[in-house]
Chain A
Amino acid sequence: MDTTMKKLPPKPVTAKSRAIKWGGWIISIAIIIWSCTGIDFGGIKPTAGQITGAIFNGLFHPDWSYVYNGSGEDLVSQLWQTLCIAFLGTFISAIISVPFAFWAANTRHKKFWVSESGKIVLTFIRSFPEIVLALMFIKAVGPGAPAGALALGLHSVGMLAMLFSEAIESLDDGPAEAITAAGGSKFNVAVFATMPDLMPAIVSNTLYRFDVSVRSASVLGLVGAGGIGYPLIIALNYRQWSRVGIILLGIIVMVVVIDWISGAIRKKLV
């Protein structure tokens, strides 16, 4: 019986796919090794361990007196301001995003370069560092929360309009055709056919963006654009670890609660 069995044939791989596989691995490893060269790994403060300990100590012994003292500079007021910045920023960006989304959506009856140019603009907005935008707004309206809200409002357009335009692309274009056939203008099509069917995607993506904006709003303070980031950087600079602890706890709780609420609403929408 054994004699009838064939020998194991060699693995059926073509030279090309093998070359791609090995080439991919070799290039990846070479890039990783290259990236480890020339980085200054020294210069770590000798007190690093001690400070880490102090921060953890602060996390477990937070400065509760900072939570609320009615001065308007306390944790609750600052977190509330952070939320307001995120809300306003998201609101502004949701409104600006709609026309941008129509521009960048690659639908039928539209020249290829029109949507492509819109996509490039959106990529540019997305890559434009939020922090730099915040600094530009600080020059225009002075330091504080308004600069943060405006910067978020503009920056979020890059991502939000892209998500909206993807939603537009995935819509059935039958209703749009019906409106056109009845003599509707392009604007009629947008208002009567596209917007109603787009609404769930707009709400759900905006809520998602709000989650992201809450996180962003909590760091904008690092450059003076309002919110909880500013007291955090002050506390870090003055080594008030228990205050760092309470602020971190505050941010974590805020983000978890907002994620939870927006997740619950989005689940209901689907």
Chain B
Amino acid sequence: MSATDRDMLKLPKKKFKMWNWVWVILMVLGLVLSVNNTKTSLPEFFANFDQFAEIFVQMAQPDWSYAGTAIPYLVETIKMAIISTVIGSLLAFVYSLLIARNIVHNRAITGVLRFIMNIIRTIPDLLLGSIFVAVVGIGPVAGILALTVFTFGVVVKLFYEAIETIDPGPSEAIKAVGGNGINNIMFAVMPQILPYFISYALYAFEINVRASTILGYIGAGGIGLQLKNTLDMFNYNQTGMIILVVFLVVLVIDFVSTKAREALMR
């Protein structure tokens, strides 16, 4: 099968691949348009880099004495996250059962409810926060409401998809012995989906802890208010302290929650 050295052919030219070029051009176009529109200039950023770095350097030297002031606010923040995770995921639990097509067979109902859910999911947490601040006024209640809605969106999406993938066998068995809809949910559906639900709620909790720390910035309670105050007063050492304690708490909660989720799914 090996050819002799004489009759070796020349390497042919490569075929032209249009789609690769279309993508490259689209990307470059997007880049040019967005740089133009936002008037971003990297040279300007690097010219002012010392200012950026200065803030960062100050933050890197946290004001330890400020920890005493920061921690009570942090506790409030965590409480907000817990309350809203509980309420939000309980609402999501019921709602997910209503939009899972293997539980509710009426396509009109699930369709409308899913549309509403998808709309709710599009609104970012801080936006929800600023709307609720406008509605109920400054304070933790606005934050709790915002996070509740946000949790609802996160958990519903994951949870109803989990419900739809469960094994239909047990449900059929319950129907076969004459069980009604509620029996079906309690005996066939629940045991299969409960671990997923708790896992998703914990996941939402992780996100909520992160989100709740900045909600205060727009007046929705928690440590974010201190974040704003220290930044407004240029006390970057104190800002650094806040970021540090938040980081540590997030780290611990992520760790515990990940371990708990792994244990649940085993």
Q: Do A and B come from one complex?
A: yes
A residues touching B (Cβ–Cβ < 8 Å)? 31-32, 34-41, 43-45, 48, 51-52, 55, 80-81, 83-85, 87-88, 91, 123-124, 126-132, 135-137, 139-141, 144-146, 148-150, 215-216, 218-219, 222-223, 226, 229, 232-233, 236, 239, 244, 248, 251-252, 255-256, 259
- Cβ of A14 to closest chain B Cβ, rounded Å: 16
- For window 26-49 of B, CB contacts with A under 8 Å fall at 27, 30-31, 33-35, 37-41, 44-45, 48-49
Residues of A near B243 (CB, < 8 A) are 127-129, 132
Does the CB pair B131–A236 fall under 8 Å?
yes
| B66 CB–A CB distance under 8 Å | no
- Whole-angstrom CA separation of A251 from B124 in the bound complex: 10
Does the CB pair A132–B127 fall under 8 Å?
no
By Cβ-Cβ distance, the 3 closest A-B pairs, closest first, are A145-B38, A84-B34, A140-B52
- Cβ of B121 to closest chain A Cβ, rounded Å: 9
- Whole-angstrom CA separation of A129 from B218 in the bound complex: 13
Does the CB pair A139–B45 fall under 8 Å?
no
Q: Which residue of A lies closest to B128 (CB)?
A: A219
| B195 CB–A CB distance under 8 Å | no
| B55 CB–A CB distance under 8 Å | yes
- Whole-angstrom CA separation of A83 from B34 in the bound complex: 8
- Whole-angstrom CA separation of A114 from B178 in the bound complex: 60
Residues of B near A232 (CB, < 8 A) are 127, 130
- Whole-angstrom CA separation of A84 from B30 in the bound complex: 8
Does the CB pair A40–B139 fall under 8 Å?
yes
Q: Size class of B's contact patch? A: 35 or more
Residues of B near A32 (CB, < 8 A) are 82-83, 86
- For window 226-266 of B, CB contacts with A under 8 Å fall at 227, 231, 239, 243, 246-247, 250-251, 254
Set B76, B118, B213: member contacting A38, Cβ < 8 A: B76
Provide 22 A-B residue pairs closer than 8 Å at the C-beta atoms, listed in order of the A residue: A31-B82, A35-B80, A39-B80, A43-B137, A48-B135, A81-B38, A124-B247, A127-B210, A129-B213, A137-B52, A141-B41, A141-B45, A146-B38, A146-B41, A149-B40, A215-B122, A222-B126, A222-B218, A236-B134, A251-B123, A252-B122, A252-B123
Say what secondary structure dominates the interface of chain A.
Answer: helix
Residues of A near B227 (CB, < 8 A) are 129, 131-132
| B92 CB–A CB distance under 8 Å | no
- Whole-angstrom CA separation of A38 from B30 in the bound complex: 50
| B217 CB–A CB distance under 8 Å | yes
| B119 CB–A CB distance under 8 Å | yes
Contacts A81-B38, A146-B40: A219 and B127 contacting too (C-beta < 8 A)?
yes
- Whole-angstrom CA separation of A212 from B158 in the bound complex: 16
Q: Specify which of A51, A80, A84, A91 lies most central, judged by the most chain B CB atoms within 10 Å of its CB.
A: A84
- Whole-angstrom CA separation of A229 from B129 in the bound complex: 12
- Cβ of B241 to closest chain A Cβ, rounded Å: 13
| B64 CB–A CB distance under 8 Å | no
Set B52, B131, B239, B254: member contacting A132, Cβ < 8 A: B239
Residues of B near A130 (CB, < 8 A) are 214
- Whole-angstrom CA separation of A84 from B133 in the bound complex: 28
Does the CB pair B131–A145 fall under 8 Å?
no
Residues of A near B52 (CB, < 8 A) are 136-137, 139-140
Contacts A38-B76, A145-B37, A223-B217: A229 and B55 contacting too (C-beta < 8 A)?
no
- Whole-angstrom CA separation of A31 from B41 in the bound complex: 49
Q: Which residue of B lies closest to A233 (CB)?
A: B130
Residues of B near A83 (CB, < 8 A) are 34
Does the CB pair B214–A131 fall under 8 Å?
yes
Does the CB pair B131–A139 fall under 8 Å?
no
Residues of B near A85 (CB, < 8 A) are 34, 38
| B136 CB–A CB distance under 8 Å | yes
Does the CB pair B40–A145 fall under 8 Å?
yes
Contacts A41-B141, A132-B231, A218-B124: A141 and B48 contacting too (C-beta < 8 A)?
yes
- Cβ of A259 to closest chain B Cβ, rounded Å: 8
Does the CB pair B83–A222 fall under 8 Å?
no
Q: Specify which of A32, A40, A45, A132 lies most central, judged by the most chain B CB atoms within 10 Å of its CB.
A: A132
Residues of A near B135 (CB, < 8 A) are 45, 48, 51-52, 55
- Whole-angstrom CA separation of A31 from B243 in the bound complex: 24
Interface mask (B140-152 → A, CB under 8 Å = 1, otherwise 0): 1100100000000
Does the CB pair B78–A141 fall under 8 Å?
no
